[in-house]
Amino acid sequence: MRLHHITWKNIKMHPAKVALLVAGLAVGVAVIVGLYTVSKAMHMDLQDKIDEYGANMVITPKSESLPLTYAGVTVGGLQYGSQLLTEKDLEKIRTIKNSANVKLVSPKLLGIVEVNGSKMMLAGVRFKDELELKKWWEIKQGSRPANDREILLGGKASRKLGAGAGDSLNISGEKFRVAGVLGQVGTEEDDLIFIGIKQAQTILERPGEVSFVEVSAWCKDCPIDDIVEQIKWKLPGAKVAAVRQAAETRDAVIGQFSLFSLILSVTMGVVAALIVFTNTLSAVRERRREIGVFRAVGYRQSHIALIVLLESATVGLIAGVSGYLAGFLAAGYIAPVATGMDVGVVFDPIVPAVAIGGVVLISLLASLYPATVAARLDPSEALNSMI
């Protein structure tokens, strides 16, 4: 038998009392773990959404513009000094310091072509990257282009041209097959003809040229501003802009929720400490006789303090484990309802370690004074209480 056996036996002797204390602490741990897990799930969901939004950076050629107005009448504008983007620039993007964060680099070449007697805008793209980037695209008819002689039509372009999946189109003298038609998304994309970028460069007679580049970066804690700066440094002739306003707004809401969670967690921590403190102090007072016996048979003050602290730590440990499990499981059910978001909780080993370690630490700190009181109990007082 060792000191911890005495601790454990005492805990087992008072199951209802210990269960009440454990329940009090476990509820606190469960709330903290639940809030943190939901908050984290929301963050992760936001990052997924950011990825789904598509590009979070757009690279365009840098140009100076001159508005032409006189007496309040605008007669048009003039852009000059524009430097061309080329496919060689795309390689440079992959050489930035944070290149590991760069998920997709999707170049586009835009131009006007004549198709079946109508002027249409042509967008040369890399279909593999583009379809990966534009998760909201839905091919309503047909399928993805299987080769460089196949194209996709925006919803409006399909109607305008009277062409659907399987039809052939003659674009500037070259024949292409419509592999699929995109569902309308309410943007300019509905009016476009999407074609392989190499074919677009040939048709538009702009070999190697790129109109703009959309870049998607992994944004779970990625430094988007740093990436923008790094690309600007690599491409001095380009303008690089981050597209993230919507995400930032939502991030701010989640930030508020996280702050609320933090404040509540600190409050719960203080309440937990008070619960342990009062409970342990009262237990020490109730156990004066018992402590007197320990002291009489030769237990040192440090032994008594250790017995009290071990009990608190054990209660904290049980509360930590049960509270974490309850909080984590509850978060899985509550998170989608409470946030109105389709969020899924993910196990993170650091959370149980911090939650359990934290509640054990709080229990120990809150028990320091009661343990000192117990240890300093005058053995003769304890003896008198026995007589």
Partner 1 sequence: MSLVIANRVCKYYGNDEATRVHALWHVDFTISPGEYIAVMGPSGSGKSTLLAILGAMNPPSEGSLLVDGIDVYALSQEKRADFRREYLGFVFQQPQLIPYLTSLENVMLPLVVSDVKDKKGLAAQMLEKVGLGDKAKRLPSELSGGEQSRVAIARAIVNDPPMLLADEPVGSLDSKTGSEILNLFQALHADGQTIIMVTHNPDSIRDTGRLIRLKDGVIVSDAATEEVLFAASDVVGTGEPKHSLAHD
Stretch that binds partner 1, among 122-130, 155-163, 264-272, 284-292 (CB under 8 A): 284-292
**SS3 state of residue 299:** coil
Q: Is residue 47 part of the contact set for partner 1 (CB under 8 A)?
A: no
Q: Does 239 bind partner 1 (CB under 8 A)?
A: no
| Residue whose token pair is 């007679």 | 205
| List 107, 295, 331, 366, residue binding partner 1 (CB under 8 A) | 295
Task: Show the binding pattern over residues 240-279: x = contacts partner 1 (CB under 8 A), - = does not.
Answer: ----------------------------------------
Instruction: Provide the pairing of β-strand 174-182 with 57-61.
Output: unpaired
Residue 89 in tokens = 């620039």
Determine if 379 is a binding residue for partner 1 (CB under 8 A).
yes
**Closest separation in Å from C-beta 305 to partner 1:** 12
Instruction: Report the alpha-carbon distance of residue 106 to residue 125 in Å, rounded.
Output: 7
Of 5-13, 16-24, 48-56, 116-124, the segment contacting partner 1 by CB under 8 A is 5-13
3-state secondary structure of 132: helix
Spatial neighbors of 303 by CB under 8 A, at least 6 apart, are: 3, 294
Q: Distance between CA 366 and CA 368 in Å, rounded?
A: 6
Q: Is 71 in the site for partner 1 (CB under 8 A)?
A: no
Q: Out of 123, 293, 315, 323, name the contact with partner 1 by CB under 8 A.
A: 293
At its nearest, how many Å lie between partner 1 and the CB of residue 295?
A: 7
What CA–CA distances, in Å, run from 51 to 58, 127, 364? 14, 18, 44
Identity of the residue, 188 or 378, whose beta carbon is nearer to partner 1 in the bound complex:
378
Residue with smaller CB distance to partner 1, 225 or 378? 378
Pick from 92, 135, 285, 289 the residue near partner 1 by CB under 8 A.
Answer: 289
Q: How many residues bind partner 1 (CB under 8 A)?
A: 30
Shortest distance, CB of residue 293 to partner 1, whole angstroms?
A: 5
Should residue 16 be labelled a site residue for partner 1 when binding is judged by CB under 8 A?
Answer: no
Measured from the CB atom, is 337 or 387 closer to partner 1? 387
Residue 16: CB minimum distance to partner 1, A? 14
CB 130 within 8 A of CB 194: yes
3-state SS class at 325: helix
Based on the shown chain and the rule CB under 8 A, indicate whether residue 19 belongs to the binding site for partner 1: no
Calpha distance 310→305 (Å, rounded):
8
Please state the closest distance from residue 19 (CB atom) to partner 1, in A: 16
C-alpha–C-alpha distance, residues 63 and 155, integer Å:
32
Identity of the residue, 5 or 119, whose beta carbon is nearer to partner 1 in the bound complex: 5
With CB under 8 A as the contact rule, the residue among 16, 297, 337, 350 that binds partner 1 is: 297
CA–CA dist 285, 26 (Å, integer):
25
Binding status of residue 387 toward partner 1 by CB under 8 A: yes
Residues 317 and 369 sit within 8 Å (Cβ to Cβ): no
Measured CA to CA, the distance from residue 302 to residue 356 in angstroms comes to 25
State which H helix or E strand residue 49 sits in: helix 15-53
Angle at 377 between CA 366 and CA 371, to 5 degrees: 15
1 binds partner 1, rule: CB under 8 A = yes
- Between 121 and 140, how does the x/- string for binding to partner 1 read (CB under 8 A)? --------------------
Which stretch in 122-130, 164-172, 213-221, 293-301 sits in contact with partner 1 by CB under 8 A? 293-301
Select from 314, 323, 335 the least CA-distant residue to 4.
Answer: 314
Residue 207 amino acid letter: P
Q: Which of 363, 371, 284, 319 is nearest to 10 (CA)?
A: 284
Residue 287 DSSP symbol:
T
Q: Please say which residue, 293 or 330, places its beta carbon nearer to partner 1.
A: 293
Complex with partner 1: residue 294 or 324, whichever CB lies closer = 294
List interacting residues with partner 1 (CB under 8 A): 1-3, 5-6, 9-10, 12-13, 289-290, 292-303, 378-380, 383-384, 386-387
